[in-house]
């Protein structure tokens, strides 16, 4: 690409180009950047006019990259990585407990574990705003989709600083008065479990092993929903004890079989934020509150 062409680019042009390339439409790109569709169309046309060459082919199916557009995409993504790295580096210089922190976790963990911990942190540091996103999606730390992520799977990549935060213990729960599980069989029992997309999770496999003849009555990918269904009498469910022991209307099953397998919780952030004062203070607060939380494997209820 000629030098004169490069001199006609700016970072806003690149963001428009990347948004259209990823969305495949002006509408999707506009939503990603918080712009209107006509504005995106004008900005993209002006960019191509300045370059003197089209970067997309317009079709009934959307916007498709030209050969040159494919080449530009690789360079643009590297530019984006550098720009995001620069932003992370600048953010990492501050050490005052103020500003925004984006935190991601699963639904039940955010609601029942992190929310009260964050509320107490906010009392100490009222100038810090925590944006807690509860979602099953794994957020990208490098792209600043989240600053701090809690999950039950170790992080990959050398750019992530992580630690094992705690081990979650699980147990089997149901409403009072339900038939007692007959271990090794499960005939006549109803179960509430994860949806089929999560069929390989350890607690789902445990249920199939210890109650092979039980009937799956309800499924949900949300642990809080499972707890509510159990309390309503729909059946038995494996739940984290930090949820099940506190949920009204649930009792823990008494059994002699091996308990459901526990899961480790990991917390991670991008290494460029290791000097971000508000993040480190929040992490230290979470560790101080949650790491001492220890529970015996599964004592009798």
Residue 178 lies in a domain: yes
Are 155 and 184 in a shared domain? no
Q: How far apart are CA 199 and CA 230, in angstroms?
A: 19
Tell whether 233 and 174 lie within a shared domain: yes
Please indicate, yes or no, if residue 300 is contained in any of the structural domains: no
Last residue of a domain, one of 91, 113, 148: 91
Encode pLDDT of 161-176 as tens digits.
Answer: 999 999 999 999 999 9
Shared-domain flag, residues 188 and 120? no
Residue 254's pLDDT band, with cuts at 50, 70 and 90, is confident
286 pLDDT exceeds 60? Answer: yes
Same domain, 146 and 40: no
DSSP secondary structure, the chain, as one string: --HHHHHT--HHHHHHHHHHHHHSSHHHHHHHHT--HHHHHHHHHHHHHHHTS-SEEEETTEEEE-HHHHHHHHHHHHHHHHHHHHHHHHHTT--SS-EEEEEEE-HHHIIIIIHHHHHHHHHH-TTEEEEEEE-SS---TTTTS-SEEEESS---STTEEEEEEEEE-EEEEE-TTSPPP-TTT-TT-EEEE--GGGTTSHHHHHHHHHSTT-EEEEE-S-HHHHHHHHHTTS-BEEEEHHHHTTSTT-EEPP-SSPPPPPEEEEEEEEGGGTT-HHHHHHHHHHHHHHTT----S----
Mean pLDDT of the chain: 85
Collect all residues with Cβ–Cβ distance below 8 Å to 203 and sequence separation of at least 6. 170, 193, 194, 238, 260, 261
Q: 64 lies in a domain? A: yes
Q: What is the pLDDT of residues 17-60, one digit of tens each?
A: 999 999 999 999 988 888 898 998 999 998 888 888 899 998 88
Query: Is 194 contained in some domain?
Result: yes
Question: Does 95 score more than 50 pLDDT?
Answer: no
Q: Which of 71, 91, 111 is the last residue of a domain?
A: 91
Residue 80 belongs to domain spanning: 3-91
3-state secondary structure 110-141: HHHHHHHHHHHHHHHCCCEEEEEEECCCCCCC
| pLDDT at residue 147 in the model | 92
Do residues 272 and 239 both lie within one domain?
A: no
Kindly state whether residues 130 and 199 are assigned to the same domain.
no
Structure tokens at 121: 């942190």
Q: What is the CATH number of the domain that holds 24?
A: 1.10.10.10
Q: How many domains does the chain have?
A: 3
CATH code of the domain covering residue 186: 3.40.190.10
User: Ramachandran region of residue 278, left (φ > 0), alpha (ψ -120 to 50) or beta?
Assistant: alpha
Residues 7 and 87 in one domain: yes
Asked if residue 237 and residue 192 are part of one domain, the reply reads yes
Query: Are residue 18 and residue 148 in the same domain, yes or no?
Result: no
Q: Are residues 228 and 177 in the same domain?
A: yes
Using the predicted structure, report yes or no on whether residue 229 has a pLDDT greater than 90: yes
Strands 148-151 and 99-105: parallel
Would residue 151 count as lying in a domain?
A: yes
Residue 247 lies in a domain: yes
Among 64, 91, 118, give the residue marking a domain's end.
91
Query: Would residue 132 count as lying in a domain?
Result: yes
Residues 137 and 108 placed together within one structural domain of the fold:
yes
- Based on the domain organization, do 248 and 174 belong to the same domain? yes
Domain annotation covers residue 174: yes
Task: State the pLDDT at residue 281.
Answer: 93
């Amino acid at each position: 690409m000629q030098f004169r062409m490069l001199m006609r680019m700016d970072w806003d042009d690149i963001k428009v180009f990347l948004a259209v390339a990823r969305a495949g439409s002006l509408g999707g790109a506009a939503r990603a950047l918080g712009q209107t569709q006509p504005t995106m169309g004008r900005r993209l046309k002006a960019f191509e006019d300045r370059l003197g060459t089209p970067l997309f082919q317009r079709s009934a199916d959307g916007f498709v990259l030209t050969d040159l557009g494919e080449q530009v995409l690789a360079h643009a993504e590297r530019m984006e990585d550098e720009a995001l790295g620069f932003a992370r580096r600048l953010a990492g210089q501050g050490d005052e407990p103020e500003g925004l922190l984006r935190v991601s976790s699963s639904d039940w963990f955010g609601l029942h574990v992190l929310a009260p911990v964050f509320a107490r942190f906010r009392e100490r540091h009222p100038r810090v705003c925590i944006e807690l996103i509860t979602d099953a999606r794994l957020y990208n730390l490098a792209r600043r989709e989240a600053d701090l992520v809690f999950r039950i799977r170790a992080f990959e990549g050398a750019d992530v600083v992580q630690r094992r935060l705690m081990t979650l213990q699980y147990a089997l729960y149901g409403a009072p008065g339900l038939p007692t599980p007959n271990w090794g069989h499960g005939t006549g029992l109803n179960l509430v479990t994860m949806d089929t997309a999560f069929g390989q999770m350890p607690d789902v496999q445990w249920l199939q092993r210890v109650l092979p003849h039980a009937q799956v009555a309800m499924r949900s990918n949300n642990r809080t929903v499972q707890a509510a269904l159990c309390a309503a009498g729909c059946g038995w469910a494996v739940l984290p004890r930090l949820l099940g022991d506190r949920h009204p209307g649930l009792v823990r099953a008494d059994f002699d079989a091996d308990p459901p397998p526990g899961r480790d919780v990991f917390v991670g952030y991008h290494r460029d934020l290791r000097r971000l004062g508000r993040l480190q203070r929040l992490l230290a607060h979470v560790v101080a509150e949650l790491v001492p939380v220890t529970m015996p494997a599964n004592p009798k209820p």
